[in-house]
Amino acid sequence: MRILKKIKIASFFVGILIIFWSCTNLFSNENETQEVTVIDQKVENLLSKMTLEEKIGQMNQYNGFWDFTGPAPKGGDAEKKYKDLKNGLVGSMLNVRGVKDVMAVQKVAVEESRLGIPLIIGFDVIHGYKTISPIPIAEAASWDLEAIQKSAAMAALESSAAGINWTFAPMIDISRDARWGRVMEGAGEDPFLGSKIATARINGFQGDELNSNFTIAACAKHFAAYGFVEGGRDYNTVDIGTSTLYNMVFPPFIAAKNAGVKTFMNSFNELNGVPATGNSYLQRDILKEQWDYNGFVVSDWGSITEMIAHGHAKDGAHAAEIALKAGSDMDMESYLYVSHLKNLVDTDKVDIQLIDDAVRRILKVKFELGLFEDPYRYCDLEREKEITGSKKINDAALDIAKKSIVLLKNEGDLLPLKKEGQKIAIIGALASDKTSPLGSWRIAADDHTAVSVLEGMSEYNGNLITFSKGADLTIGKTEFVSELKINTTNKSEFKEAIRVANSADIVVMVLGEHGFQSGEGRSRTSLELPGVQQELLEEIFKVNKNIVLVLNNGRPLAINWADKNIPAIVEAWQLGTQSGHAIAKVLYGDYNPSGKLPMTFPRNIGQVPLYYNYKNTGRPNSPGPEIVFWSHYSDEENTPLYPFGYGLSYTTFNYSDIKIVNSYNSNQKIKVSVDITNTGKRKGKEVIQLYIRDKYASITRPVKELKGFELLELDPGEIKTINFVLTDKELGFYDNNGEWLLENGEFEVFVGGSSETTNKINFELK
C-alpha cells in the first residue's frame, strides 16, 4: 500500500534524525527546529515504551461519564470507561469541564495508569465558554479580524482556566444554504473571508505559545464539504465536483493548516460516495500528504460507527479498519478503535505503523501543550474563579457584539433613536429573553445570563419604555438537546401589544429565531419569521408605522414583507452575553453600525442556495419581454434581498477614482487604488471590498470573487486612499485536478461597499 510505504519511510527518517540529533546536537542554533526535534525525540522515547493496547488507548476519546469528584462508578458503561482510563486506554476526554472535574480525570490518567500519559481535554468552545460572544456567523459580519481574534483569545482564556486545553473550533465549513442550521457556526459563504477568519480564530485560540496556560489547541472542522449537505438537511449526502471542492471548500482548511492549527476534525457527511471519516483521498492524499499536515485528525462524534449506516462498512471492526487506513487518528465516542484495533493488528489487517503514526501525532500535540511538564497546568481553582466571567472577557464580548450588528435598512433616518422625550414600545418575546441570545453551542453557559434587549434599552433612561411580548415564540422546553416547539396558534397577547404600540412614538420589535432554532440538527425548510411573529408584525404595523425591527437569528432569513414595509431593520443575530447592551448602543447611536453580511439573504427560500459568487450561465439576461428562455424564475427575481457584503451605516461613503496603479507585467503584481470619502455627518467605519471577475477561463469563474477587504474608519468629510495588491494568488484558481492555474485574459476589478458594487475598472493579463 502506497500510504503505508510513505509512513514507513517517514518514520525511518524521523528515527535517523533523532539518532543524529542525539549525537551531534546539530540544530543548536535553530531554536524552532531544535524544539520540534526535542519533542519528536520525546515522542519516540515514549512510543518505544508503549504496549499496543496503550497506543490504541491514545487514539480513544470518551465523553464525560460520571460524577468525577464522587466515588468511582460501579457497573455499566461508566465503570468500563473508568477502568479504561486507569488502564491507559483513554487518550482524551470531551465534555469534562471545570477545574475540579478535569483534575479528577487527569489524576486517574496521570497517577493511576502505567505510563501516566496526560489526557487532552476537549470541549466545544465555539463562541465563548461561560461568557458568550456572538455566534460565529455574527462575528464574521464584523469583518474585523482583530476583534475576532481577540474574541477567540478570550474564549481560550476563560476555557483554559476551567481546565480545558483543546477546542473543537473553528468550524470553517463554507455554506451557501441558509436551511442548514450549522451556518450559525461558520463564517458564511465566501472562501476568501472564511480563510481570513479561520486564521484569526486559530491565532486567537492558540496564541503565540501553545504551552502557555492561557491558550488552547484549535481544531479545523469539519473536513470536508459538510456545508454542502443536500437540501441543507443536516448529516445529509454531499455530492460536489472538484472545482467546488478545491475553490470553495478547501481554501479555509489550507489557511488553517498554514496558521498552524494543531488538529482537524472530519465530518459526518459522505463526499461523492465515501464518508469523510473513511475518506482516504481527503485525509491521507490531500491533508497529510499534499498539504503535509502533521497534527492529528479526530473523528466527529460517533462518525466511525456511522459508516455502517452510511452503507460503507460491514460492522464495527470493518469501520475501525477503514477509518484508520483513511487517516482518522482519534475515535470520538465510537469505541471502535479501543474494541477492534488490537485484533486488526494481530490478524494483519492493519499495519502497526499506521497506529504508530496516529499516536505520534497525538502525543506531539500533548507535548506541545506542555501537558507532560505539568498535567495540571490548566487546573488552578483560584485562577478559574478570577477569570470566569471577568470584566476583561465581558468587555471583549461587548466589543465584538457591537461590531457584529448589520444595519439592513434605515428609511428616513429613523435610527439612531433620540435619547430623550420619546415613548418607546418594545415588543416581542425575544426582547425580554435572556437565554436565546446565547445562541446554539454554548454548553458551559448558564441559562438566563444574557443581557436582554429590554434590559439594555432600559439603561438609557431618558425615554419612557413600555414592553409587551405580543406572543410566545416557543412552547415548553427550550433545552440544548430538545426539538423546539414553536407557538403557531396562540395570539391572545396581540391585543395588549397593539395597545402598547398604539400610544408609542417608536416601536422596537425584536423578532426572529430562538437561539436553538439553528445549530447542529436544526435545519429548516422555511426562512420566514417562525410562528405567529409575521402576523404580529403586520398587526402592529397597522397601528404604528414607526417600527425598528431588530432581528435575532442564526441564519439568513427571507423577510420580503418587512423589507418593503418596515422603515428600519437591524440584523442582530444572537449576540451572546452582552447582547442587549450591544443592541441598545447601536439603536441609540453610541456605536455606528459597521457590519456587513457574510451570507446572502434571499427573497424567497426557493432561491436557496443563493450566493454572490455564482456562475453566469449561458443565458444570464432576459432576451426581451415575454421570452422565457433564460436562466430565471417566473415567480421571483434572481437577485437577493440583501447581498453578501451589504450593510449600512449612520453615515454614508462615496467611492471614487478607482485606478490600476501598475500593470501586472512590471512585477507580477497589480496595485489597485480607490478613494473613499465619508459623505455623511458622523464618524463611521466602512468595509471596503475588492472583487475580481476573470471574464473567460478554461474553467469558468464566478461573476465576482472577493479578493481583498479593508476596514476603515473615517471622520465626516474625511477622504482616504486605499491600495489593494493582487498577485498570482488572488488572480488564479484551481483546475479540476487541483492544480493552480493562472491564465491570461481580461479581468474586471470592483471596489465598493458590497458585492453588488458596480464601481469597476478593467485590466488584461498578457
Size of the site for ligand BGC (CB under 6 A): 7
Binding mask 479-518 for ligand BGC (x = CB under 6 A): ----------------------------------------
Q: Is residue 378 involved in binding ligand BGC (CB under 6 A)?
A: no
- Within residues 202-221, the interface with ligand BGC by CB under 6 A covers 221
CA distance to 132, 155, 202, per residue, from 218 (Å): 18, 11, 6
CB 587 within 8 A of CB 431: no
With a CB cutoff of 8 Å and minimum separation 6, the contacts of 326 are 277, 278, 279, 280, 282, 283, 284
Cβ-count burial 482-508 (b if 16+ within 10 Å, e if not)? eebebbeeebebbeebbebbeebebbb
Cell of 526: 422555511
What is the Cα–Cα distance from 526 to 534, expressed in whole angstroms?
13
Least CB distance to ligand BGC at residue 357 (A): 23
Q: Is residue 301 involved in binding ligand BGC (CB under 6 A)?
A: yes
Least CB distance to ligand BGC at residue 98 (A): 17
Binding mask 2-21 for ligand BGC (x = CB under 6 A): --------------------
With a CB cutoff of 8 Å and minimum separation 6, the contacts of 68 are 96, 100, 101, 104, 105
Q: For residues 124 and 331, which CB has a smaller minimum distance to ligand BGC in the complex?
A: 124
- Residue 196's identity, in one-letter code, is K
Q: Please tell me whether residue 270 adopts helix, strand or coil conformation.
A: strand
Least CB distance to ligand BGC at residue 224 (A): 13
Assign residue 298 a region (left: φ > 0; alpha: ψ between -120 and 50; beta: otherwise). beta
Residue nearest to ligand BGC (CB): 168
Least CB distance to ligand BGC at residue 330 (A): 12
Cell of 664: 501586472
Considering only CA atoms, which of 301, 328, 336 is closest in space to residue 520? 301
Q: For residues 266 and 546, which CB has a smaller minimum distance to ligand BGC in the complex?
A: 266
Q: For residues 54 and 306, which CB has a smaller minimum distance to ligand BGC in the complex?
A: 306
Cis preceding linkage at 224, omega within 30: yes
278 CB-contact burial (10 Å; exposed 0-12 / middle 13-18 / buried 19+):
buried
Least CB distance to ligand BGC at residue 444 (A): 12
Radius of gyration of the chain (CA): 27
Choice among 40, 173, 190, 300 that is catalytic: 300
Binding mask 59-98 for ligand BGC (x = CB under 6 A): -----------------------------------x----
Query: Starting from the edge strand earliest in sequence, which strands make up the sheet with 547-552, in order?
Result: 406-410, 568-571, 547-552, 506-512, 423-427, 464-468
Least CB distance to ligand BGC at residue 227 (A): 12
Whether 173 is catalytic is no
With a CB cutoff of 8 Å and minimum separation 6, the contacts of 344 are 317, 320, 321, 324, 350
- Within residues 633-662, the interface with ligand BGC by CB under 6 A covers none
Q: For residues 517 and 579, which CB has a smaller minimum distance to ligand BGC in the complex?
A: 517
Q: For residues 221 and 596, which CB has a smaller minimum distance to ligand BGC in the complex?
A: 221
User: Which position has the grid cell 491564465?
Assistant: 743
According to CB under 6 A, which one of 40, 101, 300, 686 is a site residue for ligand BGC? Answer: 300
Q: For residues 9 and 309, which CB has a smaller minimum distance to ligand BGC in the complex?
A: 309
Least CB distance to ligand BGC at residue 202 (A): 15
Q: For residues 221 and 704, which CB has a smaller minimum distance to ligand BGC in the complex?
A: 221
Q: Is residue 168 involved in binding ligand BGC (CB under 6 A)?
A: yes
Least CB distance to ligand BGC at residue 94 (A): 6
Q: Is residue 124 involved in binding ligand BGC (CB under 6 A)?
A: yes
CB 588 within 8 A of CB 680: no
Q: Is residue 127 involved in binding ligand BGC (CB under 6 A)?
A: no
- Within residues 94-123, the interface with ligand BGC by CB under 6 A covers 94
Pairing of strands 464-468, 423-427: parallel
Least CB distance to ligand BGC at residue 543 (A): 45
User: Which position has the grid cell 397593539?
Assistant: 498
What is the Cα–Cα distance from 231 to 237, expressed in whole angstroms?
9
CB 245 within 8 A of CB 225: yes
According to CB under 6 A, which one of 520, 539, 686, 694 is a site residue for ligand BGC? Answer: 520
Q: For residues 261 and 722, which CB has a smaller minimum distance to ligand BGC in the complex?
A: 261
Q: For residues 222 and 360, which CB has a smaller minimum distance to ligand BGC in the complex?
A: 222
Interface with ligand BGC (CB under 6 A):
94, 124, 168, 221, 300-301, 520
Cite the active site residues.
300
